[in-house]
Amino acid sequence: MAENDKTLSLATLQRMPGYLRYLKQKEAEGTEYISSVGLADAMQENPAVVKKDLSMAVVSEGKPKVGYYIPDLIRDIESFMGYDNEKDAVLVGAGKLGQALLGYGGFEKYGLNIVAGFDVDPSLVGTEIHGKKILSSEKLTSTVRKLNVKLAVLTLPASQAQKAADALVEAGIRAIWNFCPVTLNLPETVAVKNENMAASLAVLSAKLKEILKKEENNKQETNHGREQTV
């Protein structure tokens, strides 16, 4: 990642994939150039925020009154985010969620390559899921060390998550993508990204409630206006 990544905010990092998706969409449509203001409008973001984000990631020079050449912009953002450097990872927990992630081909676009899965279920051990070998969790530490993998994806029940995380850290894992419904106790030297589905659903539900409430209020105001004109 860029040398100035210590100054980056989490919000900036979270916005970058959205920029990238939109830019690739415009490239596929045949659009060649885009300005930071145009990108901000499309993403419904403050232009100053988008301009600052791009200043951290983009090496290419934009053209006055034209903007950035989209292929160059895509390349710069992918390089900044590390998508152009493939990262091997292991997945621990080959249940339904784990199997779905093993089958998701989109990870490769972002430089993530899951090389193997691990599980305690004897019926899964030794099988292949979406072309990925499922190994016994008993071999987790030794295999991770052998492969020199630094990133792990956790898709386990909460009761098993901390034990697995400890084993991964012992094996040399430096980053964990945690899909387990539990907060992990990890050393400061290990990065963790928690995917809290319950929190995401709560936010979505709250937004839906707000939208429906506005629609109901508008409907009542419309009906009230009609009654007054009758």
Q: Give the per-residue pLDDT at 2.
A: 41
Q: Give the per-residue pLDDT at 125.
A: 96
pLDDT band at 227 (very low <50, low <70, confident <90, very high): low
Q: Give the per-residue pLDDT at 124.
A: 96
User: Is 96 assigned to a binding site?
Assistant: yes
User: Is 93 assigned to a binding site?
Assistant: yes
Average pLDDT value for residue range 155-170: 96
User: Is 51 assigned to a binding site?
Assistant: no
User: Is 97 assigned to a binding site?
Assistant: yes
Secondary structure (3-state) at 4: coil
Q: What's this model's pTM, rounded to 2 decimal places?
A: 0.66
CA distances from 189 to 15, 60, 194 (A): 25, 33, 16
* Mean residue pLDDT across the chain: 88
Q: Which contacts of 100-106 are long-range, i.e. CB under 8 A and separated by 24 or more positions?
A: 101/153, 101/155, 101/179, 102/129, 102/130, 102/132, 103/129, 103/130
